Amino acid sequence: GQQLNQSPQSMFIQEGEDVSMNCTSSSIFNTWLWYKQDPGEGPVLLIALYKAGELTSNGRLTAQFGITRKDSFLNISASIPSDVGIYFCAGTHHYGGSQGNLIFGKGTKLSVKP
């Protein structure tokens, strides 16, 4: 089935650093979502994007819906220890109200530098 390529697979952060991750698709998407999952818990929705070129912030998090509609980016500024976890992108070809379902990337695991 359809796959999303999410990168990097993992990264180490030092407190205060900015973090970037992205997700790409071989086909056009109409919605991009970014989730965070902490150990032992379900994914939590961070940001939803509905228009090409859209740039949306949620605190220190900023996500963009790529102009080509085939990619999305998530940036975390001034990272803090509680940012560690797994970040998932998800997208759908369809607008809400239709039969579309989400396709998930395989995740980017954020860890603290030893």
Partner 1 sequence: DADVTQTPRNRITKTGKRIMLECSQTKGHDRMYWYRQDPGLGLRLIYYSFDVKDINKGEISDGYSVSRQAQAKFSLSLESAIPNQTALYFCATSLQSNEQFFGPGTRLTVL
Order of strands across the sheet that contains 19-24? 5-7, 19-24, 71-76, 61-65, 55-58
Q: List the Cα angle 33/37/38 in 5-degree steps.
A: 155
> Least distance in Å: CB of 33 to partner 1?
7
Q: Which residue reads 């395989």 in tokens? A: 106
> Are β-strands 61-65 and 55-58 bridged in parallel, bridged antiparallel, or unpaired?
antiparallel
State which residue, 16 or 39, has the beta carbon closest to partner 1: 39
Q: Does 7 bind partner 1 (CB under 8 A)?
A: no
Taking residues 26 to 65 in sequence order and writing x for each that binds partner 1 by CB under 8 A, - otherwise, the string is -----x-x-x----xxxxxx--x-----------------
Q: Does 106 bind partner 1 (CB under 8 A)?
A: yes
Q: Does 85 bind partner 1 (CB under 8 A)?
A: no
State which residue, 35 or 73, has the beta carbon closest to partner 1: 35
